[in-house]
Amino acid sequence: MEKTQTEASIRKVALTSLSGTSIEWYDFFLYGAAAGLVFPKLFFGEVDPTTALILSFMTFAAGFIARPVGGIIFGHFGDLVGRKKTLVFALMLMGVASTLIGLLPTYETIGIAAPLLLTFLRFCQGIAIGGQWGGAMLLVTESAPSHRRGYYGAYAQAGAPVGVILANIAFISVSLITSEENFLAWGWRIPFLISFVLVIISMYIQLRLEDTKAFKELEAAKSSQDNTKQEIKSSPILEALRRYPRRISLAAGAFLSIQVTFYILVAFILAYGVATTDLSRNDLLAAVLIGSAIMVPLQFYFSHYSDKNGRKGIFMAGALLTALWSFFLFPLIDTGNFYLVILAVTGGLAFLGMMYGPQAAFFAELFSTEVRYSGASLGYQIGAILGGSFAPTIATLLWTSYDIFWVSVYIALASAASLLSVYFLTETYKTDLNK
């Protein structure tokens, strides 16, 4: 009976983490879809379409530039006051920023202030997502039994593809009930405004959770520890950087392939497919939606595999297959065949799942409890800014200035960097997280 209750408690934490991360990523990916489809027309004045698209993707990058800032801020307080409190505050910040984007006047109404305010709110989204991942990931991995840490960690990771699914459903639904004129006039705002309601629901769930056992044990031992330990507790970010500079750097490198490829698949592909094929906006959104739906169960499978066979092997296999698939991706899209486009996107996301699924457990296991939020968040968010921030912009420049083939080369190089980074990290799947 005790085992059943424990499993039930862990499932509750895992499902709560999934709900929170799904809503956070829904907000974050709404912007990615809008940056490729809507913002170039509404927020950048009378520039040509290519320049407007590049400028739009530049504001998209602001969210990634902010993510390490969010990781530092929330990592510091997450290690000091707990995983749950910081996660709830990150949810609130994301909800407010996304809602304000939905209310933002366009360039036609307030001129240059429109893209500036849009960039500021995207920066706020980045701070929120920078803090959210570490809290959600640790709530699950520190609560899970050691032999199922990868599997339960996949609940936090599944929030990303689920967020893509929710964001694309929102845009497709609004597109189906509005004309093109009304979609650009006001319809695109609806998915952003809905996010505030979703965050209220998620915050209600999150506030019912307790903090993790590992953090509680650390807090209980606090009063009996000497002044040296107290100094470590006062600045977990600096302590993480002092203790684990190599692991943080390699963790960031491991994340490059995931970030570059993912944002090309869910953001750049939308603009590229509409511009070069006869497929509609909704066709491309549907392809990304289907690929993301298939990615979710695959992430759980690969994470479960990593519990039994280790994190490194499956992660490195994912990086290698992603590099190879990059050279099939655009030829399949260029056919303009809806089903082949689904295959192109799904293949890419499936191979990413081999890396992204086990990543929560892998990154958590690299760091000790008192600096785990800070260390894991720094590795994750530095990788995000290096890999994801300018991926759609770089892809657009490579495509328009040279040839789409070079976007495949870009993906392959990022994957090679990830493969090497993971190779130089230690295997972690038998690590005790209570130390």
By the 8 A CB rule, do 71 and 380 touch? Answer: yes
Count each helix (H run) and each strand (E run) in the chain, helices first.
21, 0
DSSP string, 333-391: HHT--HHHHHHHHHHHHHHHHHHHHHHHHHHHTTS-GGGHHHHHHHHHHHHHHHHTTTH
Side-chain-side CA neighbours of 370 within 13 Å: the count stands at 20
- The answer as to whether 221 is a domain residue is no
- The answer as to whether 227 is a domain residue is no
The CATH number linked to 55 is 1.20.1250.20
Q: What is the pLDDT along the chain (435 residues), one digit of tens a residue?
A: 344 446 777 887 788 778 777 877 887 778 877 887 788 888 887 788 888 888 888 887 887 788 778 777 776 676 666 666 677 777 788 888 889 999 999 888 998 898 899 999 989 888 887 777 777 777 788 778 888 888 998 988 898 889 888 888 888 899 888 888 898 889 999 999 988 776 776 667 666 655 445 545 545 555 555 544 444 455 677 888 888 899 999 999 999 999 999 989 988 998 899 999 999 888 998 999 999 999 999 999 999 999 999 999 999 999 999 999 999 999 999 999 999 999 999 999 999 999 999 998 898 888 887 788 788 888 888 888 888 778 888 999 999 999 999 999 999 999 999 999 999 998 988 877 666
> Helices marked H in 82-112 — which ranges?
83-102, 107-110
Closest CA to 372 of 380, 364, 381: 364
- The answer as to whether 316 is a domain residue is yes
- The answer as to whether 435 is a domain residue is no
**Owning domain of residue 203:** 10-214+233-423
pLDDT digits (tens, 9 = 90+) for 386-428: 887 788 889 999 999 999 999 999 999 999 999 999 999 989 8
User: CA 406 → CA 325, 341, 344, 394, 396, distances in Å?
Assistant: 14, 19, 17, 10, 10
How many domains are there within the chain? 1
Closest CA to 430 of 265, 309, 317: 309
Residues written for the chain: 435
- The answer as to whether 257 is a domain residue is yes
- The answer as to whether 5 is a domain residue is no
Residue 2's pLDDT is 40
DSSP H or E segment with residue 148: none
Separation of alpha carbons 191 and 189, rounded Å? 6
- The answer as to whether 114 is a domain residue is yes
Residue 350's pLDDT is 96
- The answer as to whether 228 is a domain residue is no
By the 8 A CB rule, do 388 and 263 touch? Answer: yes
Q: How many CB atoms lie within 10 A of CB 398?
A: 18
Task: Quote the strand ranges of 175-266, DSSP E.
Answer: none
Residue 434's pLDDT is 67
